[in-house]
Amino acid sequence: MSDFAASHGLLEFIVDRINVGVFIVDQNLEVKLWNKFMAANSGVNEQQVVGKKLFDCFPDLPQRWFAKKVSSVFMLKSFAFTSWEQRPYLFPFRHNRPVTGGMEFMCQDLTLMPIKGEDGEVEKVCIVLFDVTDTAIYRSMHQAAMKKLEMVSRVDGLTQLFNRSHWQSRLSEEFSRAGRYQAPLTLIMFDLDHFKSVNDTHGHLGGDAVLVQVAELIRSALRDSDIAGRYGGEEFGIILPSTPMDGAKVVAERLRASIESSPVPFEKIQIPVTASLGIAQFDAGIKDVEEFIAHADAALYDAKERGRNRVVIHERA
């Protein structure tokens, strides 16, 4: 400001009218300055608040938190900052995106600046309050988009079950958990019978309709903790954490029966569907996930051999 020496009045005007909140408190949290932005948003004007304790005028503020922040500036003689990401707002102000914002109150970032006297001690603290509602809105849009992306990368588009890679990583997690805690864990692998002829007879749309309905039946047969995925074309896998063989048998048999009794409506006809299921149970002798899957697959193969539309349990050799 060497060429243009701003007058005291001009600076006062700027502080008062600038579109950010500016207020000053002393060590007792008594308000010394309160600009227009603060007055307009709080509905409490300068005359009503200057010379009074901040918490007397605004009893609903997070007092302990804010007092500690201010006292840190007095003690450490340096700036302090707060972010909307941790505490969305200090004052419950309305914001300027009431229609499209989706946020209840104005999101606020605060900067607390020490005002020092000639002796170098902090006499007052100036608080600058920024409206960061727009930033917060963009952030939440970004997060929603990321969440959707994450979903897309985990889920099989046709059946809305987990895709193979996500399902396998879940199986790995459950496999190592079962090893650590000696908790029971069972795995069902199953395959639709004669699916190739469904495709040949009714076309791929018919095949797709079958897969979609089977996925729906899987979802209704499962409990919350069970994890189902589409393993291959017409092959599915279900992980049953904390479930011993008896429980897995019940789930598998229920699923088999519901698939058999629910022919898939497609272009005015009903396509009959059955499935063959293999179950394997975790034990400490299984060396890795691949071996675990191979056990369930072997039982599934057995089920096919024995005439399909049935549940077979893998027996250890």
Residues that bind other proteins (CB under 8 A): 62, 64-65, 68, 72, 75-83, 85-87, 109, 111
As a whole number of angstroms, the distance between CA 207 and CA 312 comes to: 25
As a whole number of angstroms, the distance between CA 86 and CA 156 comes to: 35
Please give the helix or strand (H or E) that residue 224 lies within, else none: none
Could you tell me the smallest distance in angstroms from the CB atom of residue 40 to other proteins? 24
Phi-psi region of 222 (alpha: psi -120 to 50; beta: other; left: phi over 0): beta
Whose Cβ is closer to other proteins: residue 68's or residue 204's?
68
Annotate 102-156 with DSSP letters as a single string: --SS--EEEEEEEEE-TTS-EEEEEEEEEE-HHHHHHHHHHHHHHHHHHHHHHB-
40: three-class secondary structure by DSSP: helix
Whose Cβ is closer to other proteins: residue 77's or residue 148's?
77
Could you tell me the smallest distance in angstroms from the CB atom of residue 76 to other proteins? 5
Whose Cβ is closer to other proteins: residue 4's or residue 81's?
81
Whose Cβ is closer to other proteins: residue 112's or residue 228's?
112
Could you tell me the smallest distance in angstroms from the CB atom of residue 304 to other proteins? 45
Could you tell me the smallest distance in angstroms from the CB atom of residue 170 to other proteins? 21
- DSSP character for 20? S
Could you tell me the smallest distance in angstroms from the CB atom of residue 127 to other proteins? 14
Whose Cβ is closer to other proteins: residue 42's or residue 82's?
82
